[in-house]
A = this chain, B = another copy of it.
């Protein structure tokens, strides 16, 4: 079985964006507050059949761990009420998709974060998504300001309530920023990758995993810059008299395979233990074209993984076993069939 741990609903019908525009326009004028978007099941199906489902089938993946479009979480827009409403709507759509295609999609939620608002306030939506909607994880934004990094590091006690809830519910978080409102940072080309690198270094310098020994985080986009600079990170930890990275954080931190060329995937698997890599493609996402050097889609990461020369047990681990381990609720769903 092949599980893609990183997919976003980037192809929603235009009503969703229409609602969002109206919602933003009404932030300062509640009389203009729009009704929730009306999207039929057929429209949901159509938006997926020509995109994520088509690509799943063509590429040979079975199931995608699916969450709302990351770049549109936009926690920096509006206020907490804006974020709560928008998160509920986006998460409910994911739940409908998972009901329409229970074999193809399983849900991960967007949290109603907002700059300056305690992460504890996101616990209600997380609990609703897991307990009522059957979701198996969440996307946690380490920078709700959208590129100004005004929140404390992920290792600060500021974040502990949401971690306690994650542990209680037995769900992991993918560390995932949204778009950037800071003109310095291109979203998918800089902000996403920087956030991955930043989160890893925050974990490296803290004792978070002493306080939460079972919590699990997925750092997407292959871990940002981390595998490329694995020697630097091993060396920094060593200079700081920290434990080996394997002991310090590799029981809790995992990387996906959203790296869009063979040399990158080769490096990832060379330096990061197989136990810590989950298959992912971020499809349909940041890069949509075909690589003229290979004639294949850049984001068809399964092709790169298949070329690594892993044996069948190793492939099973990357494609399925590690996802079952990191998302404990996934196994129950799969085994129920």
Contact = CB atoms under 8 A, between A and B. Distances in A.
A197 B190 contact: yes
A235 interface: yes
Contact of A189 (B232, B261, B270): B232
Contacts of A238: 287, 289, 292
Interface residues of A, number: 60
B259 A270 contact: no
Nearest to A258: B232
B198 A194 contact: yes
Nearest to A297: B235
Given A198-B185, A222-B229, A288 B149 contact: no
A291 B231 contact: yes
Contact of A260 (B149, B201, B202, B231): B231
A298 interface: yes
Interface string A149-181: 101110010000000000000000000000000
A287 B232 contact: yes
B229 A221 contact: yes
A298 B186 contact: no
B291 A260 contact: no
- Among A198, A235, A287, chain B packs the most CB atoms within 10 A around the CB of A235
A263 B259 contact: no
A222 B197 CA distance: 15
Interface string A251-286: 000000001111110110011000000000000001
A89 interface: no
- Among A225, A263, A299, chain B packs the most CB atoms within 10 A around the CB of A225
A142 interface: yes
Contact of A267 (B142, B198, B228): B228
A235 B287 contact: yes
A314 interface: no
Interface string A236-259: 101100000000000000000001
A234 B264 contact: no
Given A197-B225, A201-B190, A224-B225, A260 B232 contact: yes
A67 B291 CA distance: 40
B289 A239 contact: yes
A47 interface: no
Contacts of A204: 186, 189
B184 A228 contact: no
8 contacts: A149-B184, A185-B198, A194-B194, A228-B228, A229-B259, A230-B263, A232-B298, A238-B289
The 10 residue pairs across chains A and B that have the minimum distance between CB atoms: A231-B261, A225-B225, A235-B287, A231-B260, A228-B228, A235-B298, A189-B201, A194-B194, A190-B201, A149-B184
Interface of A: 142-143, 147-149, 151-153, 156, 182-186, 188-190, 193-194, 197-198, 201-202, 204-205, 221-222, 224-225, 227-236, 238-239, 259-264, 266-267, 270-271, 286-289, 291-293, 298-299
Given A228-B228, A234-B298, 17 more contacts: A148-B148, A149-B182, A184-B198, A186-B201, A189-B232, A190-B197, A193-B225, A194-B225, A225-B228, A229-B260, A231-B298, A232-B259, A232-B298, A235-B287, A238-B292, A263-B271, A264-B267
